[in-house]
Amino acid sequence: MSCDRHYTGEVQKVWETLKSLGYGGQILVSDQTIFTVEDASRAIGVPEEQILKSLIFLVDDQPVLVLMSGSNKVDIKKVKKALGARKVKMAGPDYIEENFGYKIGGVPPIGYDIKMKALIDEDVQKYEILWAAAGNDHAFFPVSPDELVKLTGGSVCDLKKQ
């Protein structure tokens, strides 16, 4: 694993956003992929629960970030309720790449050209550190739950499917 501050492409965009928001950590890069939660858990050496899933949903046709503990699934009804929405669906990989430049497996919780609402599942607060993708399927960064709220401006709520 390395922490090279000469990032490229999408990782550079995430790094610049992190710096502009006052993030004091660093982006790490692994030779191993972090494409899935399981991959990330293995590559980083932490439980799946500490991997942060950054998902993009279309909520009444507007993109919204939904940030989850790696082992949890999203309850669409809870997202609808949290936002008072009528229609919620997960954005597809093509939509995400075309609109934001990130491929599945590297979708970060920050680094977007538009201000998106963010919902953060309350279970992330159980962990001291979470590990978030940083623009591609090999780059990631550590973040505390409190700092995640600060960086994303997200609202913490119950989003987990039981």
What does pTM read for this prediction?
Answer: 0.94
Distance, in Å, from the CA atom of 162 to the CA atom of 78, rounded to the nearest integer, reads 11
Torsion angle of C-alpha atoms 150, 23, 1, 113, degrees rounded to 10:
70
Identify the band that residue 3 occupies on the pLDDT scale cut at 50, 70 and 90: low
- CATH of segment(s) 9-157: 3.90.960.10
Convert the pLDDT of each residue in 75-103 to its tens digit: 999 999 999 999 999 999 999 999 999 99
Percent of the chain with pLDDT over 70: 96
Which tokens in the block code for residue 60? 């009444």
- Residue spans of the domains in the chain: they are 9-157
Q: Strand (E) positions, 14-154?
A: 28-29, 51-59, 62-69, 88-90, 117-121, 130-133, 139-143
Strand partners, 55: 66
Mean pLDDT to the nearest integer, 32-46: 95
Residue whose token pair is 């507007």: 62
Which tokens in the block code for residue 133? 């993708």
Torsion angle of C-alpha atoms 129, 132, 134, 138, degrees rounded to 10:
100
